[in-house]
Structure 1
Amino acid sequence: MPYFHVRGVAVVEIAIVHEARIPPKSCRALLREARKIGLKAHYIPIKYISVEIGEKTGLYVGSKELDINGILLRGLGFSVNNETYISRVTILKVLENLGVRIMNPVNSLLNARNKFYTLFIAKKLGINVPNTMLTEDIMFAYNYIDKMGEITLKPIVGSRGFGLSRFSDKDTAFQAMRALLEYNLPLMVQKYLVNPLRDMRIFVIGDRVVASMYRLAPSGGWKANIAQGGTGVKYDPDPEVINLALKITRALNLDYAGVDVIESGGRYFLLEVNASADFDELSRVTRKNIAREIVMYFKEILKK
């Protein structure tokens, strides 16, 4: 088993890392299951991790030196400024360089967080994706909407459907785009795909699809995200959907992922890939212990 040794002090074997000061439900489940299978696991808010370089190289949590095999990374932060984001990424990359195995790997997580880049990679693999455009040129975007008809404006980085807006009138969309640009935010414009008001969440761990569900939009709504009031229903994916999910997960070099797919016009389209996907509703719907599946797979990785 690879081992990162800092000044001879062993504190934990793995760390589950998230932004929140108090571990959210998914992190508590991962902690519980990690300890059940014999891993020594601690929860660490990402802001408390420090790295020292100079005469010696050390990893700290608060004032304590830390000795770990791996980090199960559950996010970099929901809304942080650019310097904090770069700082967190830098610390994690230093840890990887020093031999700490991070799940998901930092570069893989960054690529998956970038919704547009994920779609670009998928398109190169021959996976169907919605027509999508990324720009800071508002007139280019305005004319693009004219061609696409009904569209959505999406944040390039985000989750749970927050910030996702739908427009059928290009001038209303223009006002929203102007507001985004006033805050120096790029414009990611995507053709709205007519669908049965549901999408599919496919959960991949390693080279397996371990659980899947439909996410149904609430009555009167169009977003199927669980955080937006959506409801999960068990779903058995067909081979095409399984192949799509495994292909994009491998291409992004992710250890595990929540792959979101939508059906429109008789075809399947990739919407996005979540590198630190929640699994509470999926576990409830499928009666599968996804937290245990994740930590078991991480344990196997650390043995290699």
Structure 2
Amino acid sequence: MKLAILSRNTSLYSTRRLVEAAREQGHTARVLDPLRCYMRIACGDFAMHYKGRPLTGVDAVIPRIGASVTRYGTAVLRQFELMGTCTPNPSDAILRARDKLRAHQLLAAEGIHMPITVFGDNPDDTGDLLRLLGASPHVIKLTESSQGTGVILAEKPSASRGIIEALRGLYANFIVQEFIAEAKGADVRCFVVGDRVIAAMRRQAPAGEFRSNLHRGGTAVGVKPSADECEVAIRATRVLGLGVAGVDLIRSDRGPLVLEVNASPGLEGIETASKKDIAGEIVRFVAGGCTPVKAVRGRRKK
């Protein structure tokens, strides 16, 4: 199989591991910078060039598209799809996952639980918006943030209003959520490939921090997720139409809640914590046909 990995940096751990795993399994692997791909679009005729040469014969693409290049990166991926190339994470699924507001609406519509979330635009409605949410603390998130950036904890209603006003002044898109105190700064990342959770890790925020992201100094240990956590992670991945995802869950008094579904989850933390060959599992899934589970309307859970 001729495999392409869309990534802006060949030295990143996740990119290197995917290349290694592909070659270990006898495939040809090439890293493509999505910003160096360019396209010809005509009725029934789609072509791609890379650094001055035609790009043909690619059997499958594994997208590792960073948040800063989402728009162009997903356009490149869509072109590959139109050229008949297989991918575990289609372009539209990545766009659904990247927009936190859209993802939360889709997940909630399918009965998947998450922290209570509110969203509004007009400054005159801020007071009532926060009343809809409930008592502080509140968590304020930019809708396209990643790795814990753009996630703020407001401990008092006045702080929530001030942060909301500041973000609106910057024309930023954001959501506001309830703070799950009983989680005590921890979450669980379930790594989903196809229809299985192949690994999981529990991440703990450092002292004085509520974000458990490893990029923020959090620590991680491998864990065995519960049956409920596996079910929620797989359903969330399916609803968004992804074949590979990192689903972040928080353990609450009312069961597992989905914080985020990451369409380009990093491999270093999960491989280190779980001691599992995640890259190899992804490549095997892709080589097996990687027909992702399409976005579906499943049964609602009361």
Q: Same fold (TM over 0.5)?
A: yes
Evaluate the alpha carbon distance shift between residue 282 and residue 54 of structure 1 in structure 2; reply closer, same or farther with a 3 A threshold. Answer: closer
Aligned residue pairs, count? 287
2:67–2:144: 8 Å Cα contact kept in structure 1?
no
What pairs up with 1:242-261 in 2 under 5 angstroms?
A: 242-261=230-249
Q: Could you tell me which residue of structure 1 aligns to residue 138 of structure 2? A: 151
Task: Specify the SS of the correspondent of 1:162.
Answer: coil
Structure 2 unaligned spans of 5+: 293-302
Identity of aligned residues (%): 28
2:86–2:291: 8 Å Cα contact kept in structure 1?
no
Task: Specify the SS of the correspondent of 2:87.
Answer: strand
1:69–1:302: 8 Å Cα contact kept in structure 2?
no
| Counterpart selection for 1:108 from 64, 75, 93 | 93
Per-residue deviation, 1:302: 5.9
Q: Could you tell me which residue of structure 1 aligns to residue 156 of structure 2? A: 169
Say if 2:52 is the partner of 1:63. Answer: yes
What pairs up with 1:72-91 in 2 under 5 angstroms?
A: 72-75=62-65, 77-79=66-68, 85-91=70-76
Evaluate the alpha carbon distance shift between residue 281 and residue 245 of structure 1 in structure 2; reply closer, same or farther with a 3 A threshold. Answer: same
Q: Could you tell me which residue of structure 2 aligns to residue 201 of structure 1? A: 189
CA distance in 2, matches of 1:303, 1:240: 25
CA distance in 2, matches of 1:266, 1:156: 25
1:213–1:235: 8 Å Cα contact kept in structure 2?
yes
Evaluate the alpha carbon distance shift between residue 266 and residue 276 of structure 1 in structure 2; reply closer, same or farther with a 3 A threshold. Answer: same
What pairs up with 1:284-303 in 2 under 5 angstroms?
A: 284-301=272-289
| Counterpart selection for 1:274 from 241, 255, 262 | 262
Task: Specify the SS of the correspondent of 1:202.
Answer: strand
Q: Could you tell me which residue of structure 1 aligns to residue 6 of structure 2? A: 17
Evaluate the alpha carbon distance shift between residue 43 and residue 136 of structure 1 in structure 2; reply closer, same or farther with a 3 A threshold. Answer: same
CA distance in 2, matches of 1:226, 1:303: 31
Evaluate the alpha carbon distance shift between residue 302 and residue 154 of structure 1 in structure 2; reply closer, same or farther with a 3 A threshold. Answer: closer
Q: Could you tell me which residue of structure 1 aligns to residue 217 of structure 2? A: 229
2:243–2:290: 8 Å Cα contact kept in structure 1?
no
Task: Specify the SS of the correspondent of 1:212.
Answer: strand
Q: Could you tell me which residue of structure 2 aligns to residue 6 of structure 1? A: none
2:119–2:129: 8 Å Cα contact kept in structure 1?
no
1:18–1:44: 8 Å Cα contact kept in structure 2?
yes
Evaluate the alpha carbon distance shift between residue 57 and residue 273 of structure 1 in structure 2; reply closer, same or farther with a 3 A threshold. Answer: closer
| Counterpart selection for 1:30 from 10, 15, 18 | 18
Q: What is the letter of the counterpart of residue 271 of structure 1?
A: L
Q: Could you tell me which residue of structure 1 aligns to residue 298 of structure 2? A: none
RMSD of aligned Cα (Å): 2.1
Normalized against structure 2, the TM-score is what? 0.88
CA distance in 1, matches of 2:68, 2:42: 31
Q: Could you tell me which residue of structure 1 aligns to residue 296 of structure 2? A: none
1:152–1:167: 8 Å Cα contact kept in structure 2?
yes
Larger CA deviation: 48-57 vs 23-32: 48-57
| Offset from partner CA, 1:209-243 (integer Å, 9 cap, x none) | 10011111112221111111111112111111111
Task: Specify the SS of the correspondent of 1:277.
Answer: coil
| Counterpart selection for 2:117 from 119, 125, 132 | 132
Q: What is the letter of the counterpart of residue 53 of structure 2?
A: K
Larger CA deviation: 220-229 vs 130-139: 130-139
